[in-house]
Every structure is written in C-alpha cells, then in structure tokens.
C-alpha cells in the first residue's frame, strides 16, 4: 500500500514536577500565577502545571501515568517548539484582495468554486480561476502559511509527533472604515454572527463572535457603562475612540462591548486550508527538518534533557479490517455502498409503528423564506418528497398536513398541537429556536435552510428526513452484520461533560448509548440515555453503575467505549462495578482529536476504510472516513482523519479494532451508504449530549431512549 506517515517517534527522558492536583481544574488554575513566579522554567498546558527548573519534587518518567506523560510532553513542546500550533517561517505571505475574500466569505461562493489548489506556486491559478464579482473592495487579507506540530505520548514512553501544513488568514480590514463606507445600517444587519479581532494596531488577536451591533448614539450599556465611560476606558490604554457603532461580542459565558475603532473584521478562515496547502511531496522529511530545528531550541533551553528520535511508522505497520455487510428487508444482504438500492428495493429491515391518520407538518420561520429566496412552493415540494419516501418505507399511506409558515415564537405551540410525527423546518440561524422546539418533543425532525439550496440537495434531504422520521418511530432501516470481532457483547459509548463556574461543577451529565452484537454478529440498538451527575468522583461512580447495569440486560461481556481519555477514578469505578456485577468489561478510549499519521503521495490516491496503523500494543489509529486527495478537480483535498483507539489495561487486538470499525457502519440516519467517523455508540452519546445542552435529557427508562435514532 502507498502509505506514508507524517509522524516521528521521539523518546524524551527527563524529570518533571508532578502536581497531585492536576485532575482538579479549579485548583490548578488558581495555582498557575504563583507557580509561574516561583519557578524559572514553569509552563502550563490546559490546566496542568509542571516545572523543568531546579526547584520542586522530582519524579522519573516511568513513575508518571500515561495521561501525565502526555501533558508533560505537550508542556515541554510549548517551550521547546514554541507551542503546538507554531508557524514555520516559510517566507510566503500572500495578500488577498476582494476576489479571494468574496469567494471564501462564509463558505458561500458568488462565482465558480475554485478547484483544489494546493501548491504555493499555483497562487496565480487561484486568481485566474475566480469568477470576478462586482462590489466594493473588502481586503486585503494576509494568508500566513506554516506547519503545525501535535504530540501524543504512548504508554511505553514514546512520544508521537505529527507535522501538518496549515494556513491562517488574518484580516487587515478596519471595521470603522467599513462602517463609514457602508453605513451603520449595514453594520446592524451584517455583523451579528460574524467574527472580529480586537487589536492595538497589530495583526494578532483572539477571534470573537459578534452578538449585536448598535449605533453609538443609541447604545445603552449595563452596570453604569455609557459611551463616555467607554471612551475613558480606552483612553487609559492610550487609544482615543469615537465609535460609529458599539459591537457586543461573546466571551465565555458573558459578553463584552467594543467600539468599532479597535476592531478588525475577520475573514472566515474555514475554506483557507482547502485552497492553500503546502505542496510537499514528502511530509516526513519536512517533519524531520522541523523536528531537528525545534529540538535544537529545546536542547538549548533544557540541556539536561536527553532526546532520542526513532524511526517513524512506515508502510509495514499498516493493517486493514474487512468491511461489514448490511441487511435490509427480507434478510437481503449487501455491501454498505449498496444500501440505498437495498432500502428502496427490499424495504426497511424493521418497520416503524403505524402512522395512519397522523399528519406530517412542515413549519418555517415567516421572515426567512423571502429573505433567503425560499418560497412556500419550495417547502411544499420538500414535504411532498418526504411523504412519498415515507410511504415507500412504511408500505402504507401517510397523511400530509398543509405547509404552515409561522413566526419562530409559535413553533413550540404548533409542535404541541400536532399528533404523531412532526417534521419541523427550523429555517433560522438562532439555536434558541431549535432548542425551544426540541424541549417540547425530542422526536421532532429539524433541518436548516441549506437543504433547499438546489434540486439534488432537496431530493437527498427528503430521503434523509424520511428515514429520520421512520427511525424515531421505532423503525430500523437496515442492520449491520459484523464480519469480525467478538460476538454476544454489549457495547456502550459514554460522553461525560461538565459545566464549571468559579471552580465548582454546577452541572454535569454522562450521555450513554448502548448497542448489542448478538451471537450471529448482528448489531442492534439498545437504548440511549442521559445520567445527571455532579463532581468528578460522583460522575465516575454513578456513571459506571447505571451504564453497566443497563449493559448487563443484554450481555455479560461489555465493551466500554469512552469519548476521550478515561480519568483514573472513572477507570477504577468501571472496574470495581464490573467486578461487583460479574461482568467482563473492556475499556477502550476513542480519541477524536489526535495527530494525523497518514500522508499522501502522488495524485488520486485514496486511503481505504478500515486501515489502521498500530503505534504500540495498546494504541492504534483507525481510518473510517477517508478523503480523496487530488491535484485537480472539485474533490475536497486532505489526508484522512483517523481516530485513536487505546486500551488502558491490555493489548488492543484485531477483534476489538474490527468491532469498532463495524460500529461506524451503524449510522442509521444516513441512507446514502457512508460510514460515520465515530463508532455508533460514541456518535449517539455525542448526539444525546447535544440534546442535553438544549435542555432535553432522556432517562434510562424513557421510551424515547429505545428509538434507533434518538436525535
């Protein structure tokens, strides 16, 4: 296989200060400032503080836990390699004018989409292929190109470093100039939802999302703030302001107010990495060059630290698991890519409840159709397509209610008045509308205005919406039959999140989703639910107890898939509860954000699904959602984004890797034949977490939790 890795292995033998409270975020944050004053080489990574200076208790590398090792290495890199996201000065700085800005703004393209352009030398091609658009000049925008270094410590003390090209767009557009040019009304209408950067004249700063923009002469601040006090505040920093508008931005859980004099309007950076990508044939060599350069600086700062660079993972480390089969109606089996044809030719694997006499309603925000160019005829067409597909899925007639266009404030009442399945079109960018509808009924099917952008999208969206309604009424469009991995096992995905204020946990929840693999390898959905929890210790014990008791209803063998790194106390709680219940529990961490270990060579190369690279006995990188990198054409470029799987207590064998891969095919809400990037238990737990953020918590005994697609 033409596999290459953009990662290198590094062994760092050094001693660090171990803080016993590194799991306590509040205590660590409170000690950061004092700690930095006391020690010469102190540094902070997230909320973990270590020291490489001459003071403090020292412990050896072997005495550190894998989590502590990862934090220590990341912390060392912040000093030695100037941070995990530092930029290598390549000498390229591109000034982009109005054309680039209009093409990239918000992901909306006024002209033709630029085909994949990666090499720096193709900047002229980008300029030539942009369809010229009319309008005033926005820019320029400076695009800075560099390399990003990421790190992960493995259980054997090896550190895996990956090097990837990155591009960052920095706006040179002064917001005040735009407001004077376009008027205060433009600022009130356009700025909310976009990003600005507070600046003192430089080009660096933090991107902040705009909540509101108010004319300066109409602005009334809170807590005694007015326009005069705002001027005095900035005068203390040596900046004289005379704002046309006052911009309110979101910071953490609150807001701040800025005059437009000190803001730059930030170009959205999302498309930048797609259009500007370093044209490097051998990223490994670039990574080694960068690593050598960075290690030189590291050795200068830490002369007592011994660093050994090992060989990178190569093509000999690559393995691949077999893809699973899918089963539609009548036990008809086929490949996952054939799912759409199987579904419509042979029907769903398991039918939904009777929907006769119940209406499917389509509700939209009254203001949006005219503003977004969406007519009621577009909404009616979508409804007709959805109802037609529902009839094919269910095998009987479905009554279609009239299209009703109403204000967003009326949506919850309309949902409450409807009987049975409800299809609600929330054509709004405001999450509060979505939240209010979901609180009334979590089985409501929501979508955005993007599904009405063109004919093909509408047809595809109608199929997805129909399958979603079918799932939410206890139907299962297809089943997945595993081709490898353990049988007769319950697999639970767990996603734990907490809301911390003032160093205290004010709200916490553990969102769980249980799947079952029977003796024949058939994967079925058990239930999805939310467990309210509190402090970390309570989180661990209560989560383990409820999750494992639920899993025991299906099997005595349990695979516990944890979204992210498992804290030590949670791991111990899972093991203890498992022993008390007589269960055989295997804990596997599923890490979504991890160094990319695959690099491309040549054109048109495609990473196969199910391929994985074994980093050590307990850690692998599994590729479930590959890209198709191309030098030309309209395909999205990039390297695969693998997920990292790590087993904390034993080796990660091929059966477990195959099981996780098979679970990525259980993406029942998508009838197009595509895998999800995450295994279904973790994916559904993450969706339940999203629901919980909107105030919808599904309990273990709630009938809604047993639907195949609960969100």
pLDDT tens per residue across span 283-321: 444 455 555 555 565 555 555 555 555 555 444 456 778
* Dihedral (CA of 478, 483, 488, 493) sign: negative
pLDDT surpasses 70 at 709? no
Mean pLDDT of 43-69: 37
Q: What is the pLDDT of residue 199?
A: 75
Q: Are strands 363-365 and 245-251 parallel, antiparallel or unpaired?
A: unpaired
Phi and psi of 378, rounded to 5°?
-60, -40
Q: What is the pLDDT of residue 562?
A: 92
pLDDT surpasses 80 at 67? no
pLDDT surpasses 80 at 185? yes
Give the pTM.
Answer: 0.70
pLDDT surpasses 70 at 682? yes
Q: What is the pLDDT of residue 351?
A: 76
Q: What is the pLDDT of residue 39?
A: 32
pLDDT surpasses 90 at 579? yes
Q: What is the pLDDT of residues 589-640, one digit of tens each?
A: 998 876 666 554 444 445 667 878 777 778 887 877 765 444 333 334 445 6
436 confidence band (pLDDT: 50, 70, 90): confident
578 confidence band (pLDDT: 50, 70, 90): very high
Candidate from 22-31, 65-74, 443-452, 555-564 with smallest mean pLDDT = 22-31
pLDDT surpasses 80 at 326? yes
Task: List Cβ<8 Å contacts ≥24 apart for 192-198.
Answer: 193/429, 194/265, 194/266, 194/268, 195/265, 195/266, 195/268, 196/247, 196/249, 196/258, 196/263, 196/264, 196/265, 196/266, 197/171, 197/263, 197/264, 197/266, 198/258, 198/262, 198/263
Which residues face 674 on adjacent strands? none
Mean pLDDT of 177-187: 85
Mean pLDDT of 151-170: 58
Q: pLDDT above 90 covers what percent of the chain?
A: 7
Q: What separation in angstroms does the CA of 230 have from each of 200, 224, 234, 380, 636?
A: 16, 10, 7, 50, 46
Cα–Cα distance between 275 and 524 in angstroms, integer?
41
pLDDT surpasses 70 at 348? yes
> Are 612 and 642 a contacting pair, CB within 8 Å?
yes
Q: What is the pLDDT of residues 370-380, one digit of tens each?
A: 444 556 677 77
Summary mean pLDDT of the chain:
67
Of the ranges 141-155, 306-320, 499-513, which is most confident?
A: 499-513
CA 103 to chain centre: 24
User: Which tokens go with 608?
Assistant: 């196969």
Which residues face 404 on adjacent strands? 363
Q: pLDDT above 70 covers what percent of the chain?
A: 52
Q: What is the pLDDT of residue 613?
A: 77
Q: What separation in angstroms does the CA of 341 have from each of 144, 328, 330?
A: 46, 10, 14
pLDDT surpasses 60 at 526? yes
Domains, the chain, ordered by start: 7-87+282-316 (no CATH), 93-274 (no CATH), 351-472 (3.40.50.2300), 481-706 (3.30.420.10)
Cα–Cα distance between 480 and 660 in angstroms, integer?
12
Cα–Cα distance between 216 and 208 in angstroms, integer?
20
Q: What separation in angstroms does the CA of 709 have from each of 635, 675, 690?
A: 30, 15, 14
């Amino acid at each position: 296989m033409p596999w290459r890795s953009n990662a290198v292995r590094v062994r760092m033998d050094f001693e660090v200060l171990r803080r016993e409270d590194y799991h306590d975020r509040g205590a660590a944050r409170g000690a950061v400032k004092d700690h930095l004053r006391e020690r010469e080489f102190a540094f902070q990574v997230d909320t973990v503080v270590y020291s490489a200076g001459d003071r403090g208790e020292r412990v050896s590398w072997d005495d550190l836990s894998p989590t502590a090792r990862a934090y220590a290495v990341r912390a060392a890199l912040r000093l030695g390699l100037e941070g995990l996201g530092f930029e290598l000065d390549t000498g390229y700085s591109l000034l982009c004018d109005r054309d680039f800005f209009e093409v990239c703004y918000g992901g909306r393209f006024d002209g033709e989409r630029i085909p994949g352009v990666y090499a720096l030398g193709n900047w002229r091609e980008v300029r030539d292929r942009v369809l010229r658009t009319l309008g005033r000049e926005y820019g320029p925008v400076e695009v800075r190109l560099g390399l990003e270094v990421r790190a992960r410590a493995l259980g054997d003390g090896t550190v895996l470093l990956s090097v990837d090209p990155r591009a960052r767009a920095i706006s040179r557009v002064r917001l005040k100039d735009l407001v004077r040019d376009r008027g205060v009304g433009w600022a009130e209408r356009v700025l909310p939802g976009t990003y600005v950067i507070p600046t003192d004249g430089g080009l660096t700063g933090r991107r902040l999302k705009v909540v509101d923009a108010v004319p300066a002469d109409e602005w009334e601040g809170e807590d005694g703030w007015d326009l005069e006090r705002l001027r005095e505040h900035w005068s203390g920093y040596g900046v004289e302001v005379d704002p046309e508008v006052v911009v309110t931005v979101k910071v953490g859980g609150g807001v701040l107010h800025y005059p437009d004099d000190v803001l730059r309007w930030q170009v959205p950076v999302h498309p930048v990495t797609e259009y500007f990508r370093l044209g490097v044939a051998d990223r490994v060599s670039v990574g080694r060059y960068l690593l050598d350069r960075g290690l030189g600086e590291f050795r200068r700062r830490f002369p007592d630290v011994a660093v050994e660079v090992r060989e990178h993972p190569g093509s000999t480390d690559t393995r691949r698991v077999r893809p699973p089969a899918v089963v539609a109606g009548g036990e008809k089996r086929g490949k996952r890519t054939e799912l759409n044809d199987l579904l419509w030719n042979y029907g769903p694997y398991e039918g939904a409840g009777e929907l006769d006499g119940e209406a499917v309603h389509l509700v939209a925000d009254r203001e949006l159709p005219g503003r977004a160019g969406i007519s009621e005829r577009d909404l009616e067409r979508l409804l007709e397509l959805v109802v037609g597909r529902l009839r094919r899925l269910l095998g009987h007639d479905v009554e279609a209610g009239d299209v009703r266009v109403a204000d967003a404030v009326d949506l919850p009442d309309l949902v409450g008045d409807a009987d049975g399945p409800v299809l609600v079109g929330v054509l709004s960018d405001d999450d509060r509308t979505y939240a209010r509808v979901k609180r009334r009924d979590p089985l409501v099917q929501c979508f955005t205005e993007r599904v009405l952008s063109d004919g093909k999208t509408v047809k595809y969206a109608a199929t997805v919406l129909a399958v979603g309604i079918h799932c939410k009424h206890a139907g299962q469009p297809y089943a997945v039959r595993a081709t490898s991995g353990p049988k007769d096992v319950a697999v639970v995905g767990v996603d734990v999140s907490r809301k911390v204020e003032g160093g205290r946990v004010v709200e916490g929840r553990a969102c769980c989703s249980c799947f079952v693999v029977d003796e024949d390898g058939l994967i079925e959905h058990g239930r999805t639910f939310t467990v309210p929890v509190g402090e970390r210790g309570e989180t661990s014990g209560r989560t383990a107890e409820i999750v494992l008791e639920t899993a025991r209803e299906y099997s005595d063998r349990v695979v516990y898939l944890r979204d992210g790194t498992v804290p030590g106390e949670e791991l111990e709680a899972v093991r203890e509860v498992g022993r008390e219940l007589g269960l055989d529990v295997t804990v596997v961490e599923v890490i979504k954000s991890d160094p990319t270990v695959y690099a491309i060579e040549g054109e048109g190369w495609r990473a196969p699904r199910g391929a994985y690279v074994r980093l050590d006995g307990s850690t692998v990188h599994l590729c479930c959602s590959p890209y198709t990198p191309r030098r030309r054409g309209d395909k999205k470029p990039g390297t695969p984004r693998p997920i990292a799987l790590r087993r904390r207590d034993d080796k990660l064998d091929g059966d477990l890797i195959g099981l996780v891969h098979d679970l990525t095919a259980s993406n029942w809400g998508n009838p197009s034949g595509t895998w999800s990037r995450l295994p279904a238990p973790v994916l559904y737990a993450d969706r339940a977490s999203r629901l919980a953020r909107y105030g919808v918590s599904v309990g273990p005994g709630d009938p809604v939790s047993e639907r195949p697609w609960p969100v």
